[in-house]
Amino acid sequence: MSFVSRGFTGRRRSGPPGRLPPGQYDAGKAFPVLSAGPVPRRHLDAWDFAVRGEIDDPLSWTWPQFQRLPHVDVTVDIHCVTGWSKFDTRWSGVSVDTVLGEVETAAEYVVAFCDGGYTTNLPLEDVLDGKAWVVDTYDGEPLAPEHGGPARLLVPHLYFWKSAKWVRGLRLSLTDEPGFWENFGYHNYGDPWQNQRYAGD
């Protein structure tokens, strides 16, 4: 926790023009860490990333295999449901388009699953076409465990709880299965521009 000098305590509401969703404030340089449990510490030798569920031949990549997948740099704004937004965050990772590649599936939904037991659900179309990544680098450094390292999902067009920390894979599903926060009264989709915080918003 850090102290802020008087005169800088006011939360900047605006941010860059047109980029702050309703009800959010600009976190500036801060990158708050919220956590609902202990930080998993998984050795990279014991890490893999899997695609399973509605797929004939499930896929998985070890850490070295994942590192060899083509990585892309992405700079995006992120919006946490607790109110903070952060602009121009810089990540590197593998597009979910690359991960799912030529997968043939009847699934219309995915559930991201994680070390520590966290889950979050998304429509399949929301993680395709350049809208989602599995990132392992933040601001030029390996992603810190507190921020979801070794790898987290990044789905910046939805509230940040959808960008699951410590992600270990995607389960393709025919049905929409609410995840950890979605089954506790939070919005099933979570569009920050629609202020979709709670179920029914």
Partner 1 sequence: MTTDDRRLDGNALAGPLSELFALDLAAATITCAHCGASGPLGAHHLYSDAPAHVVRCPTCTGVVLRFASDSRGLRFEMTGTRLLTVAT
150 in Cβ contact with 44 (< 8 Å): yes
36 in Cβ contact with 97 (< 8 Å): no
Kindly report the backbone phi and psi dihedral angles of residue 153, in degrees, each rounded to the nearest multiple of 5, phi listed first.
-80, 150
User: In this chain, which stretch among 43-51, 103-111, 149-157, 183-191 interacts with partner 1, using CB under 8 A?
Assistant: 183-191
Does position 193 interact with partner 1 (CB under 8 A)? The reply is: no
175 in Cβ contact with 1 (< 8 Å): no
Q: Which is nearer to partner 1, 61 or 181 (CB)?
A: 181
CB of 146 to partner 1, least distance (A): 6
C-alpha span between 165 and 167 (Å, rounded): 5
Does position 16 interact with partner 1 (CB under 8 A)? The reply is: no
Q: Which of 126, 91, 129 is nearest to 111 (CA)?
A: 126
User: In this chain, which stretch among 13-21, 32-40, 44-52, 149-157 interacts with partner 1, using CB under 8 A?
Assistant: 32-40
Q: Is the backbone of residue 126 left (phi > 0), alpha (psi -120 to 50) or beta?
A: alpha
Q: Could you tell me which residues come within 8 angstroms of residue 102 by beta carbon, excluding any fewer than 6 positions away?
A: none
Does position 166 interact with partner 1 (CB under 8 A)? The reply is: no
Q: Which is nearer to partner 1, 94 or 151 (CB)?
A: 151
Count the site residues for partner 1 by CB under 8 A.
Answer: 20
Q: Which is nearer to partner 1, 128 or 144 (CB)?
A: 144
Does position 142 interact with partner 1 (CB under 8 A)? The reply is: no
User: In this chain, which stretch among 56-64, 134-142, 167-175, 179-187 interacts with partner 1, using CB under 8 A?
Assistant: 179-187
Residues binding partner 1 (CB under 8 A): 1, 33-39, 81-82, 116-117, 146, 161, 181, 183-186, 198
